[in-house]
Amino acid sequence: MTRMPLQQLALDLPPAEALHSFDSFFAGSNDALVDALMLLAASPKAPPAGAIYLHGEAGAGKTHVLHATCGAVTARGGHALYLSAGMAVGDWPVDPHSMT
């Protein structure tokens, strides 16, 4: 019996970060964080005063809310880019100075 070679099927799926939104994030007791990130995403110019420090265990949703923030900024016509902490500056997909 002759076996046919297996073929890989290409699925037209959006990138994972496109699926991450504030609506699909379960904030639990982190409502203040989500509110702060939504305010940051809605700011037309500079971010609000202060800093937002995001930390938590693996699987807590940090990447999800950061992708959601970038998506919300982009949706309103702003510029946002998610960069992984493990990504070297030379590997960034854009020059950060061009995003002004």
Q: What is the distance, to the nearest Å, from the Cα of residue 28 to the centroid of all Cα atoms in its chain?
A: 19
CB of 47 closer than 8 Å to CB of 40: yes
Whole-prediction pTM = 0.68
* Rounded average pLDDT over 12-39: 84
The DSSP 8-state label assigned to residue 85 in this structure reads T
CB 27: neighbour CB atoms within 10 A?
13
pLDDT tens digits for range 65-78? 989 998 898 888 88
Q: What are phi and psi of 63, to 5 degrees?
A: -65, -40
The yes-or-no verdict on residue 100 having pLDDT over 60 is no
The yes-or-no verdict on residue 21 having pLDDT over 70 is yes
